[in-house]
Structure 1
Amino acid sequence: MLAVVAAAFWTINAHWTEVRDTIGAMSWTTLLPAFVALPIAIACSTLSWQFLVDEIGEPIGAARGAQIFLVGQLGKYLPGSVWAYVLQMELGRRAGLARARIFTATVFSLAVAVVAALLTGALVIPSLIENDASLAPLQWLYLLLPVGLVCLHPRILDRLVGLGFALLRRPQRDHPVRGRAVALSLAAAVASYVFFGAHLWLLADGVGANGAGLLLTCVGTMAVAMISGLFFFVLPSGAGVRELVIVTALAPHVGTGTAIALAAVSRVLLTAADIVTAAGAAAVGVYERRRNGPIHHDPGIGDDEA
């Protein structure tokens, strides 16, 4: 955890030179709303994950779910973003949840996030490729869309979950995966990209960007940027790839120099929001545990193992 926090603060420091002058030229009426949009987006991402976690076991409550998801998410700041998923599984285990349950929910929440990003990112993919030919490989991601949509069908998803639990020798769930949970998870994922996009739009608007459809462009851009970072998992939190997508999308509106600065500001604000929401979730989770005691353990997980 110390390495994770240090990596997050290193990310802020690495971009501080570009950020300082840009922030200095912005009004707090721009920066504050742009920052506030991020915890809302992060909360939507958390809900998308939790809908699936609660669907394949006894509901654990938003406070403890947020603690597992948000604190674990800080692992993405270490090279090789797989650390986020390792942390989530271990935090879940300490809370009394089977690793198989957390792993399964995380895998399928990633599938939901990819489908949501591809649907939302369709708003900007053609213009991104037109502005920067190096982004042409992004269009190949759409080969994943039909596969993702099929896998998210409740019957297919339920069979995959059942197979995973059987292979990991965990007791099966007491009810099949329902379409309602999948739909809610997908809706929450789309909502998260909307608020991430609103964050970028507020920053761009603060430096005088305008034009029809800029908000939709920013929403699609953040969806593509964040999902691109996921596929370049060797980099800490997709560093560099996300910024390239943002700069390519915003350069026609604000100029390349300003777009680079806005991408850096966005990165720093998002890192700060990750730290703040994780700290808040950890504090709430501790309070919840002290007030209500340990959560009901998954079958086969004893107090001495949690």
Structure 2
Amino acid sequence: MLTLRYVLLAVVLGFAAYYLISQWNEVSQAIKLIAPASIIVSFFFVALGLGFGTVSWIAILNGLGHRIPILRSAQILLVGQLGKYVPGSVWSYVMQMELGRQYGVARPRILITALYAAGVGVVASLILGSLALPVLIDDYPQLLWLFALLPVGLICLHPKVMTWLASLTLKLFRRPPLDHEVSFSVVLRSLGAALASYICYGIHLFVLVNSLVDPDIGTLILLTGAMSIGFTVGLVAFLLPSGLGAREAVLIGAMGMLLTIPQAAAMSVVSRMMFTLADILAAGAAVLAVIIMRKRLASEGSVNVEALPEDSELPANVANDYQRTDGE
């Protein structure tokens, strides 16, 4: 199984690197239109948004069972989500489950976390996406049906409903149901972090546009809504690598109200590249942090989770030891 994990990781990194390299010529031309300071600030908000997204995911993970240290949780998500660059985004879930298993977290729990985090993300994106309704009504009326998912999503985020659905999923995997109800604080913390993530992404796009024109606060609101709804559209287009092309169509429509279509297309390409680069750098940083932590654990003594029974959870006392060694 360990060999399979390394093979999966190599394949995922290969696809991500290929995408990065294949788009470079187009990106390098677009970057010439943007001031260097705008590139730095814009990328900072992409990284910050990715951080908030990670907090949202970890909140769900820890709300479903014993607490997993931040560094380990972040590695499961940040490395695992590189699987979205492989056509058919199911690979992201496969990677996350395999990485979770490496730390003794049952695969069903990781799958439930990934699905619920995606649901939280959809609810957050639709809430903020309503800010982009003027663009959707004029240019993409066929996407308005997405907002029908909002009331369904809000119902599913109710702690009792979330707990019931999670336990049902665990039952399908022949695992014991949750031993406690997911709390309102977990749901609110995850949703709040997801909203903050999309707001950061909206600011990222606003900074890029600001390098070409002088937009106002209304433009920031519009671009935040467009970026948010673009993520849900990209999620629906799951057969494409990371929703490739679907998100850009919405962003070009929004930016086209201020920029020429070629300029808007150039900004969307730069935005996509920043997200790819941030994903790769964040995954690398998470891996490096865990490697450093493992060396410290090795000197103090640790549990070999590879020897644990299939899909078993780390004992609570072991998880607590990991938390202490992580400085939490």
2:160 to 155, 168, 180: 155
Contact 1:57/1:298 (<8 A) preserved: no
Partner of 1:271: 276
SS of 1:30's partner is helix
Equivalent AA in structure 1 for residue 47 of structure 2: P
Gapped regions of structure 1 (runs ≥ 5): none
Equivalent AA in structure 1 for residue 221 of structure 2: L
1:91 to 60, 80, 99: 99
Is 1:252 matched with 2:263?
Answer: no
Distance 1:300 1:83 in 2: 19
Most deviating of 105-114 and 288-297: 288-297
Partner of 2:324: none
Cα separation, partners in 2 of 1:269 and 1:300, compared to 1, 3 Å: closer
Where do residues 47-62 of structure 1 align in structure 2 (5 Å cutoff)?
47-62=55-70
Contact 1:117/1:227 (<8 A) preserved: yes
> Which fold has the larger relative contact order, with Cα–Cα distance below 8 Å and residues 6 or more apart in sequence?
1
Cα deviations across residues 122-172 of structure 1 (Å, max 9, x unaligned)? 000232331x2xx22211011111111111111111111122222222233
Contact 2:82/2:280 (<8 A) preserved: yes
Q: How far did 1:215 drift? A: 1.1
Q: How far did 1:71 drift? A: 0.2
Partner of 1:237: 242
Partner of 1:13: 21
Equivalent AA in structure 1 for residue 183 of structure 2: R
Partner of 1:223: 228
Contact 1:60/1:295 (<8 A) preserved: no
Distance 1:173 1:93 in 2: 18
Contact 1:68/1:91 (<8 A) preserved: yes
1:205 to 206, 210, 228: 210
Cα deviations across residues 247-289 of structure 1 (Å, max 9, x unaligned)? 1000110111100000000011111000000100111122223
SS of 1:164's partner is helix
Is 1:180 matched with 2:180?
Answer: no
SS of 1:124's partner is helix
Q: How far did 1:298 drift? A: 9.9
Q: How far did 1:229 drift? A: 0.6
Cα deviations across residues 82-117 of structure 1 (Å, max 9, x unaligned)? 110110011101111000110111111111111001
Partner of 1:214: 219
Equivalent AA in structure 2 for residue 108 of structure 1: Y
Partner of 1:286: 291
Provide the aligned length of Structure 1 versus Structure 2.
300
Most deviating of 55-64 and 158-167: 158-167
Most deviating of 168-177 and 236-245: 168-177
Q: How far did 1:21 drift? A: 2.2
Taking only aligned residues, the RMSD between alpha carbons, in angstroms, comes to 1.9
Cα deviations across residues 209-253 of structure 1 (Å, max 9, x unaligned)? 413411111111111111111100000011111111111000110
Q: How far did 1:291 drift? A: 2.3
Contact 1:92/1:99 (<8 A) preserved: yes
Distance 1:158 1:198 in 2: 34
Equivalent AA in structure 2 for residue 114 of structure 1: V
Distance 1:126 1:19 in 2: 29
Cα separation, partners in 2 of 1:294 and 1:216, compared to 1, 3 Å: farther
TM-score, normalization by structure 1: 0.93
Most deviating of 15-24 and 85-94: 15-24
Q: How far did 1:39 drift? A: 1.3
Q: How far did 1:206 drift? A: 1.1
Q: How far did 1:185 drift? A: 0.5
Cα separation, partners in 2 of 1:217 and 1:2, compared to 1, 3 Å: same
Contact 1:96/1:295 (<8 A) preserved: no
Equivalent AA in structure 2 for residue 128 of structure 1: L
SS of 1:208's partner is coil
Q: How far did 1:17 drift? A: 2.8
1:120 to 118, 125, 128: 128
